[in-house]
Structure 1
Amino acid sequence: MTHGFFPDDPPGEGEDPFAQSYERVPSFEPPRDEVPALFAAPEVIARGDDLVIAILGARVHSDGVEILIERHLRRGSRDAREWQLAQMDFTGHLGGGDRSPDRLRWGLVLGNGERLFLDDRFAPPSPVDPATDDVVRHSVRMTGGGGSGGGETYTMHDGLWLHPLPPDGPLELVVQWPAFGVPESRVILDGGAVSALAASVRPLWG
């Protein structure tokens, strides 16, 4: 019953907007409640005239691995306008609608021969067998990301979330970016060694 000028709030208003429980989609992102094991694998994957793409290593979780990538762009001989446009291309390559053959493209080849391709950050989840609820194949998608730079250089930090853990055998990471002079290039990790580190993952909250 209203006793003053303002009416009573309708039911539900004023409740905690964060009270709903969070449900993770495993193929979309790493667990938030784990301290991952670190797999060190610093190596340059590819070089262009003013671009370097390097893998730093990976964060291994209980059900997947996040491959850590750095991309470095330098200004070179570009004037102010050219540098601005280059930075826009460098940071905005994953808009979801770009299908230019010159775009940045990532791929993975797993030890079981499975080939995965990533062209945007809205990749579908890992397919699941409805009868067994088991993942029937792997998936890869972008995680996080971000960057910074200035008048002469710009750096982007990317993550590639592979779910579930890779099988034994080579884990091959493939990249190409013709727009920045990067041909098809690759680096190979040990998929079995990566997955073995999952035993070292610890819960974040004890």
Structure 2
Amino acid sequence: MSFFTGGPRERPLFPVPEQELYAFNGRHWTDAPREYIVPAVLPWAQPLGRSDRTIIALRAIEVWPEALTLRVTVYSRDSLLDDPAEGLIDHRRKPDYNALLIGVLYADGSRASSETISVPSASEPESPVLRAQPAGGTRFAVEHEVFLWPLPPAGPLKLVVQWRDRDIPETRTTLDGGAIRAAAKDAAELWPGLDKRQANGLPVRRVGKQVALTPEWGPAVVRAEQPETGPAE
């Protein structure tokens, strides 16, 4: 006897075409490749900072081939947010140093933190990328995903938190960068051999300082490139 008793559903008269997943674009610094990779998971649960009524904790680390995601949850005895979807780690152009801040210090001296806004770029950045976003929870336990690129070098990776409004001073936790790098080999690719996406599905030709996308119908659509900036004279 079948467990699921229902028959096949009726197809709509005009079905919506299914969208195709194309190959990963190789920009490991923009976001976790969650559609393409099952990450290795390091269950390194530990407190990162605390006060009488608030605890900032690392729950786990997801390791991708060239990046990692820190699973960070803030616990409190009193309400943190009316809507946990808003999150507590806020990237701002002018940072609020009384709010919850998080940062990392690599063994080679490079660093990244939530003090700045990390905008995804088309070209590989010269400095590490840290990008935090809310991941649900409740009013008393707010979860976050903290994306970090690239993988740390072997040696100590220092994770730094501070939250003055909650009486949590700057607190540093040392993680094993070499163990994180070693875990990356266990991240599993889901869809090898996917087709690569064409640029807008249209042939591209250059017109002076502009790029013209030439469709098979109608006139060319011209899009201006960003001007190159040189040293001031």
Alpha-carbon separation, structure 1, partners of 2:20 and 2:70: 32
How big is the shift at 1:170? 0.6
- Structure 1 residues 140-155: aligned runs within 5 Å: 140-149=130-139, 154-155=140-141
Structure 1 counterpart SS, 2:43: strand
Alpha-carbon separation, structure 1, partners of 2:65 and 2:183: 9
Higher strand content, 1 or 2 = 1
Equivalent residue, structure 2, for 1:164: 150
Equivalent residue, structure 2, for 1:58: 61
Higher helix content, 1 or 2 = 1
CA separation of 1:183 and 1:117: change in aligned 2, threshold 3 A: same
Note if contact 1:126-1:163 (Cα within 8 Å) is conserved in structure 2: no
Alpha-carbon separation, structure 2, partners of 1:95 and 1:88: 19
Consecutive unaligned residues of structure 2, counting only runs of 5 or more, are: 1-14, 193-233
Amino acid of the residue matched to residue 28 of structure 1?
A: T
Q: Per-residue displacement from partner, 1:58-91 (whole Å, max 9, x unpaired)?
A: 110111111111110112xxxxxxx5xx525985
Q: Find the partner of 1:30 among 4, 29, 32.
A: 32
- Report 1 or 2 for greater relative contact order, CA contacts < 8 Å, sequence distance ≥ 6: 1
Q: Find the partner of 2:77 among 60, 74, 93.
A: 74
How big is the shift at 1:31? 0.7
Task: Give TM-score, length-normalised by structure 2.
Answer: 0.64
Amino acid of the residue matched to residue 188 of structure 1?
A: T
Alpha-carbon separation, structure 2, partners of 1:169 and 1:127: 29
Alpha-carbon separation, structure 1, partners of 2:138 and 2:171: 25
**Bigger mean CA offset, 19-28 vs 188-197:** 19-28
Percent sequence identity is 27
Alpha-carbon separation, structure 2, partners of 1:116 and 1:95: 12
Note if contact 2:87-2:133 (Cα within 8 Å) is conserved in structure 1: no
Consecutive unaligned residues of structure 1, counting only runs of 5 or more, are: 1-13, 76-82, 129-133
Amino acid of the residue matched to residue 146 of structure 2?
A: L
Alpha-carbon separation, structure 2, partners of 1:205 and 1:87: 39
The size of the alignment, in residue pairs, is 174
* Structure exhibiting the larger radius of gyration computed from Cα positions: 2
